[in-house]
Every structure is written in structure tokens, then in C-alpha cells.
């Protein structure tokens, strides 16, 4: 579904991503894991056209993403939720969700998708008339995912979905991510919470200092002594 080969990204003369390659198959959760500053988010920003690509290739369902305008990626079915969980603070929950369905494809199924989002996040239904700027951190993450789902993605990209959330909310968010995969939407996520991510991901890549250093299924990486010592504190 998504294929990235030898991706390189630089900020001016400072190169921060070196020949990164990964794939996302249909109906799967793929995680890119690693410490802060490893180049995970930078890779996503380059992949989605928000940073220039120095070298390498990236394609979604066979179409090159390099040079494709970001809004066209959304119309093709690739949607990203940034780490900031951006919402229009002065608009209501309902109005934010409406804006998620701005593409022609998404508008065609607006009502049905809205019902699905509210079924997934009953708390958003309770707060649909509330201003987004007054929501808690967990509710803002629910709104960010709901708004992305309104665009009818085929591949959903999440940047640090657990960041700053209470453990009970993190459990719920990962449950929703697995449910999204089970509905036929593939998921690519960047995450620092390795243990939870490895329990949910079908396949994972670990990045350090701008490069992929190891990869495997969740059980394979959990059993890897190097991963245990470096990241899982076992």
C-alpha cells in the first residue's frame, strides 16, 4: 500500500534522515519506534510533503508521493494526524468534524461517517456543541482521530498518538487504532511508547539517529535482547 525506499531528509546542510526504507501492507498497523530525535516525525513530514525530500522515493498504491501536493494525498486516501492534534479552537466539535470531510469523496458519505465517529467516540457526541478549545487532552486526541476518519482514509498516519495522555486514555486510543485496522484502514504510527505499540502493531521498525536499526513483528522485537535492554527496561 505504502512503500518508502532510501528516504533522505535534511534541514539545509544538516541531514537528519539517512536511507530509511519501510512498507505498510493492506489492513495492517505498522509502527516506527525509537527515542526522541531519531528522525521519526521528520520522515513523516517528508513523506506527506511538509518537508522537502533530499533523496529516495515514496509511493502510495503505486503513485509517487514525491512532489504531490498534500491536499491531493488526502483525496487519494492518505491522511495524517500531527503530534499537535490541531483543531480549530473557536469552532465546535461538530464543526471541526464537518471540516474533516472537505474532499468530494468524503462529502459523499458525510452523514454515515459522522455516525461512525460518534459511535467510536461517544464522548464527542456528548460534546458536539462544545468549543474544541475547551476539550481535555484526551478529548482533543479523540477529535483529531475523528476528524481524520471523516476524510475516509485508506491509510491513517498518526504521530505520537499517546503523547501526554493518561494511561486509561492511552489504552482506549490504542483500542481504537486496532479497531480502525479491523475496519480495513491501514495505520502507520510513530510512537515512543514502545511496549504498547509493539502489542498493537503487526510490524515495526526501530529508528536511531536517522536510520532504521532493526525491524520485525511485535513478538520478534519484544524478544530481542537489544530492544529489551535499550527500550523496554527489562
Alpha-carbon distance of 45 to 52, in angstroms, equals 9
Q: Are residues 55 and 12 in the same domain?
A: yes
Q: Is residue 176 part of a domain?
A: no
Q: Are residues 128 and 192 in the same domain?
A: no
Alpha-carbon distance of 180 to 29, in angstroms, equals 9
Q: Is residue 166 part of a domain?
A: no
Closest C-alpha to 167, from 140, 196, 136: 196
Q: Is residue 185 part of a domain?
A: yes
Q: Is residue 161 part of a domain?
A: no
Report the pLDDT value the prediction gives residue 233, as an integer from 0 to 100: 59
In the listed set 152, 168, 195, which residue is the last one of a domain according to the structure? Answer: 152
Q: Is residue 102 part of a domain?
A: yes
Alpha-carbon distance of 198 to 220, in angstroms, equals 9
Q: Are residues 5 and 28 in the same domain?
A: yes
CA angle 64, 8, 52 (to 5 degrees): 65
Q: Are residues 17 and 55 in the same domain?
A: yes
pLDDT in tens, 126-173: 999 999 999 999 999 999 999 999 999 999 999 999 988 888 999 999
**Full domain range(s) for residue 33:** 1-77+181-234
Q: Are residues 142 and 85 in the same domain?
A: yes
Q: Are residues 108 and 70 in the same domain?
A: no
pLDDT in tens, 202-211: 999 999 999 9
- Number of domains, the chain: 2
Q: Is residue 25 part of a domain?
A: yes
pLDDT greater than 90 at residue 226: no
Count CB neighbours of 136 within 10 A. Answer: 13
Q: Are residues 66 and 90 in the same domain?
A: no
Q: Is residue 230 part of a domain?
A: yes
Q: Are residues 9 and 53 in the same domain?
A: yes
Q: Are residues 62 and 90 in the same domain?
A: no
Report the pLDDT value the prediction gives residue 92, as an integer from 0 to 100: 97
Asked whether 27 and 186 are in contact (CB, 8 A), the reply is yes
**Which CATH number does the domain housing residue 54 bear?**
3.40.50.300
In the listed set 152, 169, 195, which residue is the last one of a domain according to the structure? Answer: 152
The pTM is what? 0.93
Amino acid at each position: 500500500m505504502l512503500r518508502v525506499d532510501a528516504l533522505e531528509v535534511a534541514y539545509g546542510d544538516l541531514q537528519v534522515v539517512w536511507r530509511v526504507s519501510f512498507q505498510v501492507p493492506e489492513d495492517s498497523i505498522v509502527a516506527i519506534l525509537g527515542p526522541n530525535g531519531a528522525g521519526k516525525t521528520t520522515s513523516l513530514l517528508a513523506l506527506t510533503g511538509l518537508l522537502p525530500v533530499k533523496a529516495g522515493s515514496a509511493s502510495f498504491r503505486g503513485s509517487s508521493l514525491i512532489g504531490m501536493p498534500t491536499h491531493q494525498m488526502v483525496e487519494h486516501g492518505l491522511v495524517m494526524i500531527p503530534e499537535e492534534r490541531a483543531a480549530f479552537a473557536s469552532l465546535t466539535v461538530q464543526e471541526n468534524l464537518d471540516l474533516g470531510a472537505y474532499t468530494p469523496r468524503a462529502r459523499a458519505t458525510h452523514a454515515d461517517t459522522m455516525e461512525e465517529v460518534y459511535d467510536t467516540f461517544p464522548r464527542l457526541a456528548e460534546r458536539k456543541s462544545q468549543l474544541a478549545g475547551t476539550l481535555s487532552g484526551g478529548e482533543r486526541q479523540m477529535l483529531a482521530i475523528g476528524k481524520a476518519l471523516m476524510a475516509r482514509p485508506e491509510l491513517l498516519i498518526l504521530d505520537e498518538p499517546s503523547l501526554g495522555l493518561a494511561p486509561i486514555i492511552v489504552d482506549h486510543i490504542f483500542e481504537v487504532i486496532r479497531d480502525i485496522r479491523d475496519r480495513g484502514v491501514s495505520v502507520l504510527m510513530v510512537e515512543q511508547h514502545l511496549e504498547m505499540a509493539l502489542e498493537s502493531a503487526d510490524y515495526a521498525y526501530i529508528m536511531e539517529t536517522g536510520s532504521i536499526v532493526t525491524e520485525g513483528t511485535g513478538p520478534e522485537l519484544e524478544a530481542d535482547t537489544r530492544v529489551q535492554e535499550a527500550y523496554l527496561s527489562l
